[in-house]
Amino acid sequence: MPTISRFCPQCKKYARLNVLDDKALICPHCQNQWGKITKLETIFERCPICTCRQFYTDKDFNQVLGFLVMAVGVVLVPLTYGLSLAVFALIDWLIYRKVAKLVACYRCGGEFRGFNIPSQLKGFMHHIGLKYDKYR
Ligand SMILES: [Zn+2]
Ligand SMILES: [Zn+2]
């Protein structure tokens, strides 16, 4: 089931909503309506929440986990003559590769999970992000 998650602008809580065709996006905490889905296939042409047309892809990855894996590797360096770093870098890479991708909206920060990601979507571009800073 595809979902959209973000911090609700009204109640400031993080909410994850299931997404269906022709369904309004209602915050489960405060019933604030974020927007409405018309067609799932065209969702990345225009953000259903803020009508922004620019999105980026990101790894749906818990950064803390990657950091911990590396930290353990660093701690073990004196015991393993540096071999642990290589091993843990490999583990890190394996975890990273298995992680699903998400799509995020530049303007409202909505995170879209479980969708078919259009191939033209790219990772976060700093200069585009700057344009939308004032909305977030
Ligand atoms: Zn809310
Ligand atoms: Zn948006």
Which residues are found with C-beta within 5 Å of the ion, ligand 2?
47, 49-50, 52, 105, 107-108, 110
Q: Quick one: pLDDT at residue 66?
A: 66
Q: Quick one: pLDDT at residue 10?
A: 95
Q: Are residues 9 and 68 in the same domain?
A: no
Task: Return the ligand number nearest the Cα of 44.
Answer: 2
Averaged over successive runs of 10 residues, the pLDDT of the chain (136 residues) comes to: 94 94 92 92 94 92 67 80 81 74 94 91 93 81
Q: Are residues 2 and 45 in the same domain?
A: yes
Q: Are residues 95 and 109 in the same domain?
A: no
* Angle at CA of residue 36, ends 31 and 38, nearest 5°: 155
Task: Return the ligand number nearest the Cα of 27.
Answer: 1
Q: Quick one: pLDDT at residue 134?
A: 80
Q: Quick one: pLDDT at residue 52?
A: 94
Q: Are 74 and 85 in contact (CB under 8 A)?
A: yes
Domain count, the chain: 2
Task: Return the ligand number nearest the Cα of 49.
Answer: 2
Q: Are residues 14 and 34 in the same domain?
A: yes
Can you give the residue range of the structural domain that contains 80?
61-99
Q: Are residues 22 and 48 in the same domain?
A: yes
Q: Are residues 114 and 131 in the same domain?
A: yes
Q: Are residues 17 and 49 in the same domain?
A: yes
